[in-house]
Amino acid sequence: MATVKDFRNDIRPNWCPGCGDFSVQASIQRALAAMGKEPHEVAVISGIGCSGRISGYINSYGFHGVHGRALPTAQGVKLANRNLTVIAAGGDGDGFGIGLNHFMHAVRRNVDITYITMDNQIYGLTKGQHSPTSAHGFVAKTTPAGNIENALVPSQIALGAGIGFLAQGFSSDVNQLVSLIQQAIEYRGFALINVFSPCVTYNKVNTYDFYRENITNLETVEDYDPTDRALAMQTVLETRGLCTGLIYRDDERVSYQDQIPGYSEQPIASMDLHLAPELFANALKEFA
């Protein structure tokens, strides 16, 4: 049985010391080990950005894609090999900027993958520009007089799009994050975990202390019901999206692959796809 150590490799992360992404990586590794997964049973697909490097830091199948395109790749991997546990990962710019359209359609499509976003409200890899989740008035290199755009709130967007599993975590609360990742992987459908993952180098506003002072942990809210979609949206609005824990879960929603007519139990990845020469020759005759 695999341990956390089995999901580690020899590549040393080059994130800044104190970056919240370290905790996200550790939480993924702990969750996979706790679930009894083996490295060859997991694929981590990532986009571009500081968070996009995470696929190279976990000992599993991995794919480091292009900016905003982690989700279509991850969905393709899952449909080709339904036996893999597929985790897509990225940041707020990668997922809710250039990748926002892919996110909306991934929610609508409901392929059985887990999407973990590391939201630091800034573009860290390109040295400190404001991102889609940066607050109004946020001062950054691209907004020295303050951001005049309103911030996107990922949890609101996800609920509005009809997501079946929505959770948020905080890099400082690893135990909660490990639990949420396990629940998301077990959920049969598209699951989003948006993680508040502070950038200690370029974002001096949304710091660890900021989140400790402003986050509402839904696990401490009496009578909170994560199966009540209206309550989930109300809670997200009231907290301005600054809440952690399981926000919403709909176990009645059917996953994409469970609705495909004739979808084989044998993964495409393990099928013999060689075409007999005579079949290939006959196919060419159709175009002669």
**In this predicted model, what pLDDT tens digit does every residue of 251-282 receive, in sequence order?**
999 999 999 998 888 888 888 888 888 888 88
Q: What is the pLDDT of residue 61?
A: 96
Q: Using CB atoms within 10 Å of the CB of residue 76, give its burial: 0 to 12 exposed, 13 to 18 middle, 19+ buried.
A: middle
Count CB neighbours of 142 within 10 A. 15
Please report the domains of the chain, with CATH numbers, ordered by start residue: 4-285 (3.40.50.970)
Calpha distance 285→96 (Å, rounded): 47
Residue 288, pLDDT > 80, answer: no
- Residue 35: predicted pLDDT: 97
Task: Give me the chain's average pLDDT, please.
Answer: 94
- The answer to whether 165 touches 249, Cβ cutoff 8 Å, is yes
| In 54-196, beta strands by DSSP E | 61-64, 85-91, 114-119, 122-123, 129-130, 165-170, 191-196
* pLDDT tens, residue by residue, 94-109: 999 999 999 999 999 9
pLDDT digits (tens, 9 = 90+) for 4-24: 999 999 999 999 999 999 999
pLDDT at position 77 is: 96
| Residue showing tokens 């005759």 | 285
pLDDT tens column, 109-146: 999 999 999 999 999 888 888 999 988 998 988 999 98
